[in-house]
């Protein structure tokens, strides 16, 4: 975002575009990989519960994590991608700059919030998996 506010300056647009492209790709990749992690661990826990006759509350817990986290992750990805894509419209002067500014701050805020939630639920998921593994090892 920093380079975006320097765009009228010499060479700032190239840096802004390069950073935007890289960060959009990495953010979408990180959130997507986190989603697949939750899907995979949820499936694994479901299989362990079925094989070892554990309580279904563990499976419901993984579903709860995904239901709380996935909509926020999708919003963060959508705001980030919209910001990048519509930035091209601002660069060509088809769209107003204020739209790019607002989307930039929405993308930033949604990603910060999403990363905090991901951290919380990754820790909770790790604890849940540990408890399932302990129950299976008994």
Range of the domain at 84: 22-137
What is the full per-residue pLDDT of the chain (138 aa) written as tens digits? 655 555 666 778 888 899 999 999 999 999 999 999 999 999 999 999 999 998 899 999 999 999 999 999 999 999 999 999 999 999 999 999 999 999 999 999 999 999 999 999 999 999 999 999 999 986
Q: Is residue 4 part of a domain?
A: no
Q: Is residue 72 part of a domain?
A: yes
Q: Is residue 15 part of a domain?
A: no
pTM of structure: 0.87
Rounded to whole angstroms, the Cα distance separating 48 from 59 reads: 10
**In the chain, how many domains are there?**
1
CA 38 → CA 20, 64, 65, 94, distances in Å? 27, 11, 8, 40
Contacting residues for 115 by C-beta, under 8 A, at least 6 apart: none
């Amino acid at each position: 975002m920093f380079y975006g506010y320097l765009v009228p300056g010499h060479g700032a647009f190239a840096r802004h575009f390069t950073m935007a492209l890289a960060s959009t790709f990495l953010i979408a990749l990180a959130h997507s990989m986190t989603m697949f992690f939750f899907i995979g661990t949820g499936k694994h826990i479901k299989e362990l519960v079925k094989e070892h006759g554990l309580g279904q509350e563990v499976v419901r817990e993984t579903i709860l994590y995904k239901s709380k986290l996935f909509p926020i992750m999708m919003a963060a990805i959508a705001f980030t991608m919209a910001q990048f894509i519509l930035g091209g419209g601002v660069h060509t002067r088809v769209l107003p700059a204020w739209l790019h500014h607002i989307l930039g701050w929405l993308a930033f805020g949604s990603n910060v919030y999403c990363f905090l939630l991901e951290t919380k639920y990754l820790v909770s998921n790790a604890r849940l998996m540990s408890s399932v593994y302990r129950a299976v090892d008994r």
